[in-house]
Amino acid sequence: MSSQHEFVLRTVEERDIRFIRLWFTDLMGGLKSVVMSPSELESAFDEGVGFDGSSIEGFSRISESDNIAMPDPSTFQVLPFEQAVPDMQAARMFCDVIMPDGQPSLIDPRHILRRQVQAAAADGFTCMASPEIEFFLLKQTEDLENLQPTDNGGYFDQATHNDVPLFRREAILALESMGIATEFSHHETAPGQQEIDLRHADVMSMADNIMTFRYIIKQVAVRQGVSATFMPKPFEQWSGSGMHTHLSLFEGESNAFHDPDDEFSLSDTAKQFIAGILEHAPEFTAITNQWSNSYKRLQFGNEAPGTATWGVSNRSAMVRVPTYRLGKEESRRVEIRSVDAGVNPYLGYAVLLAAGLKGIREGYELGDPAEDDVHSLTRRERRAMGYKDLPTSLDHSLRMLEGSDFMAEVLGEHVFEFFLRAKWDEWHNYQKQITTYELANNLNL
């Protein structure tokens, strides 16, 4: 038994943890959980916990339904909120899903990201990620046509009339109690919209942190009598919620994206990485923006990119190169602005990393940065400049994904086929609705 296993067993005993929650995700990023008593923990480390994979969306056919969740002791953390009630204290660990023969499950989102992490390591790189996660706080209601934000604040406002004035403070304390370091938090541009930025970590740990973040935010919201949503665009009149992600590659202690002699302190490696992201963006957008609603944000959200472009300090570009602290090596990074808050972080980060690495391996060339407001350009102007438009709907996005052998390779055949099938069903269900807009404009024809 490793030292990590021993640490978990000792902590559970010393802190009188009564329940252990084992977490993993389905293919769409839904959090799954099984709870066990501490007496079963040692056995779970040795043998895992079996579950019916055919009951989890996209996992297994009923004839191959036996799956095993193997807890990862490095992810052990005591859950907040229940510590004040001794009989309810709980902790969580993320799990890797394996098959009965001990092989990794090819449909486990965590394993799909791990394959890309290992591919990066084989090339000498460690990928670091830092997301800016946006979400809305809403007053609780069952009337979905009358959603109301908890405040009327705007960007960076210190809201004085706010139903939950201490929300971000409590959320940050809860996150940091679980070892998730935050950098900044503030009110975003829309009423009720918040942003909390997580401090950079390796990309696998960050994907785990994002799943925990969503759980914690929703728990804090319930405790304060409101609700939280990561829906990309819940309001027609206001901006949507993105998850701008800063990525960098390190070679040991050195930032592979930094070149002090370059105008923007960007190395050739960084430029090739950006070029890979831009080249394959239309193919992976269905993964990073997986809902029908995602395209309301990309098409009509302020500062949400609709075109595969890059720019320096240009927030209308899909990939932005921040200019804060240009000379500071560890700060050199690129910001991917298309990703939204509803992404499955394991799959989203897997396709971003794979695209960037492909750009490096094949020496993709990066064009000139966009200097204008890309949103203000006409389609003809964008095409004349050589810019690729991102898909404008889930339908369009799925067609691009469907034709991508590269994405099929990154995701694996089973995940690729299931994701397409499930999302085509979602699109068809969305498309067949009769909306209030249609009734208002066409009923009296």
Q: What pLDDT was estimated at residue 63?
A: 38
Q: Rounded CA gap, 97 and 109, in Å?
A: 9
245 touches 334 (CB < 8 A): no
Residue 374 lies in a domain: yes
Using CA atoms, how far apart are residues 312 and 333, in angstroms rounded to an integer?
11
Assess contact for 404 and 283: CB atoms under 8 A: yes
Residue pLDDT, tens place only, 46-101: 999 988 766 666 555 543 467 899 999 999 999 998 666 667 899 999 999 998 98
* Residue listed under structure tokens 């592979």: 256
Residue labelled with tokens 């609709």: 306
Say if residue 279 is in the same domain as residue 137: yes
Q: How confident is the model at residue 83, as a pLDDT?
A: 60
Look up the pTM and report it: 0.94
Q: How confident is the chain (445 residues) per 10-residue block, as mean pLDDT? A: 90 94 94 93 92 65 68 96 74 94 91 98 98 96 89 76 83 96 92 95 98 97 95 95 97 95 94 98 98 95 87 90 78 94 97 98 95 83 87 97 98 94 96 94 93
**What pLDDT does 211 receive?**
98
441 within domain boundaries: no
Would you state the structure tokens that stand for residue 71, as one six-digit string? 């807890």
Give the residue numbers spanning the domain of 321. 115-436
Do 75 and 177 fall within a single domain? no
* Residues 119, 213 within the same domain: yes
Say whether both 149 and 236 belong to one domain.
Answer: yes
Residues 131 and 87 in one domain: no
- CB contact set of 355 (below 8 Å; sequence gap of 6+): 276, 277, 279, 280, 281, 284
pLDDT of 184 reads 92
CATH code assigned at 336 = 3.30.590.10
Give how many domains the chain has, as a whole number.
2
The DSSP annotation for 148-195 comes to -BSB---TT---SSBS-TTHHHHHHHHHHHTT--EEEEEE-SSTTEEE
Amino acid at position 61, single letter: R
Residue 209 CB partners (closer than 8 Å, separation 6+): 180, 198, 201
- 91 and 157 together in one domain: no
Shared-domain flag, residues 223 and 325:
yes
Nearest of 201, 206, 204, 293 to residue 241 by alpha carbon? 293
Same-domain status, 89 and 120: no
Structural domain ending residue among the three candidates 73, 99, 125: 99
At 197, list the tokens. Answer: 């930025």
Whether 364 is covered by a domain: the verdict is: yes
**Residue found by looking up tokens 């971003």 in the block:** 352
One domain for residues 55 and 120: no
- Side-chain half-sphere exposure of 287, counting CA atoms within 13 A: 32
* Distance between CA atoms of residues 29 and 24, nearest Å: 9
- The domain that holds 22 is classified in CATH as 3.10.20.70
User: For residues 216-255, b (16+ Cβ closer than 10 Å) or e, as one string?
Assistant: bbbbbbeebebbbbbbbbbbeebbbbbbbbbbbbbeeeeb
208 occurs within a structural domain: yes
> How many alpha carbons lie under 13 Å from residue 28 in its C-beta half-sphere?
12
Say whether both 83 and 193 belong to one domain. no
Q: Does 335 fall in a domain?
A: yes
Q: Are residues 165 and 46 in the same domain?
A: no
Q: Could you tell me if 84 and 119 lie in one domain? A: no
Residue 40 lies in a domain: yes
Domain membership flag for residue 151: yes
Q: Domain boundary at 99, 133, 158, which? A: 99
Residue 338 counted as domain residue: yes
- Which of 50, 71, 99 corresponds to the end of one domain? 99
